[in-house]
Structure 1
């Protein structure tokens, strides 16, 4: 197995890595050439540009490139799913020396899907960054909760917390009230407490407006409180008391989720999501050779 290019191809962003045979990263390209910026017919040109930058090498890509908005529609692998299952369902692009990693889906009484996050989760387990039986949280626009048993993804839950906050911030009755910075503090924690276990989430969200208008909620705290309500509703929907939650993310949103998880009695175990992706994609690549 020689060197290759691995791409984490998301909706808005893209990260490409030049990786040697041993799994070490030799170079990295980060840009905003996510799938929303690319027409399906443009992918051969995009891959050629990456090869010009990183070398004339085979490519393996995961994430939204395998979706209906990407280059090809790589069908989801039903849970329970592990690394060999992803390899077996991969999509090979004829004549391009490109492998597309499929996502994972949950079917039955409840439906859910994921693309890209499964590589991080299974890679974290393969690299020893998390145990084979674990609960993962992956904050983002669509927060993922992933449960693994025996190194296999058995359950996925997606919460639209980030997207809903963005919609509330940009439209409707709360527009203009949520423009402040969101930070962990008393207002955020009050929001978490209000949202956790709430059966009246829509009422709790309107309390942001009412609180500001009546002086019960400082305007500068409105965004933090609203974010806390949404994240609290998400985190509070599961029993995390005295439980390890492997947080596969970094940055401000991950910090907010970490605070909320701890407030609900969970133990946060930070896991490097990039290390998880690299370990997972290298394991998948090795199984394709």
Structure 2
């Protein structure tokens, strides 16, 4: 099938996405599967790579995400923020024998905070490179571990990871709220009530127990508990980014229901959500990095 020039991989923890790319950065084909790093033993990566090349052609590969972590194939050490695309390209791990390049992640270490990310930096820098977002911007990348990323002059200067999605999943499946959070989560009165309760809450754990108490005492319908709990968590997450109550413009790298929820939260807390196509941003970022590495 090889009409392409290279393969680009977004190789995450649970999922993997492959893109067949033309030399000018156009995407020719794509596929997604559940062969994330948790599903692949270290000794299995050569076979995984061979299978991808059997499908798309004997092409060089550039990959980002957890494949470069200590749980992946080969570790590509983090690059400390502040960093731009050129800094990431200079630190890329190139495996010449496999014609396989791994983009490093980004680390943050200050007197008070430590944080890391892998893969999200490609989307952020790609959005800037492609003109999908300005060089000075605040990005939000909702997911299991939501990322807030700040860029200045096209460089990642700071970021924060919020375990919002993972906390909701843990509350839904374990503990006192398990069995109460099976309802749908969508923007509506219950979700908005949760946003108001969670935004700026210094007593987040108290607010979460109120989900149960509210249902037991008839204050809230059982079918609304999940939306209310999600609102509390997302409200606390988004609210943490507002200095003096003003969050400003947020470039939202997401789609689907989760993007809708975060857009609603950002607007409810006085900000403006600008949606950015996360797939287009990743492709722009990975192609820019490949050009810099080449």
TM band (smaller chain): over 0.9
Q: Aligned pair 1:221/2:208, yes or no?
A: no
Distance of 2:40 and 2:263 partners within structure 1: 34
Q: Aligned pair 1:29/2:31, yes or no?
A: yes
2:161 match: 158
Q: Aligned pair 1:75/2:59, yes or no?
A: no
Distance of 2:93 and 2:7 partners within structure 1: 16
Shift of 1:92: 1.4
Mind listing any 5+ residue stretches in structure 2 that lack a counterpart? none
2:252 to 235, 242, 247: 247
2:198 match: 195
RMSD, aligned CA = 0.9
1:95-149 per-residue CA deviation (whole Å, 9 max, x = no partner) reads 1000000000101121111100000000000000000000000000000000000
Shift of 1:94: 4.0
2:184 match: 181
Mind listing any 5+ residue stretches in structure 1 that lack a counterpart? none
1:257-281 per-residue CA deviation (whole Å, 9 max, x = no partner) reads 1100000000111000000000000
Q: Aligned pair 1:284/2:286, yes or no?
A: no
Deviates more, 1:233-242 or 1:129-138: 233-242
Shift of 1:204: 0.2
Distance of 1:115 and 1:154 partners within structure 2: 15
Shift of 1:242: 6.4
Shift of 1:241: 2.6
1:47 match: 49
Distance of 1:61 and 1:34 partners within structure 2: 12
Contact 2:247 2:266 survives alignment (8 Å): no
1:58-93 per-residue CA deviation (whole Å, 9 max, x = no partner) reads 000000000111001111000001101111111112
Shift of 1:4: 0.4
Partner of 2:208: helix, strand, or coil? helix
1:224-270 per-residue CA deviation (whole Å, 9 max, x = no partner) reads 00000000011111216361100011111111011000000001110
2:235 match: 232
1:260 to 260, 265, 268: 265
Normalising by structure 2, we get a TM-score of 0.96
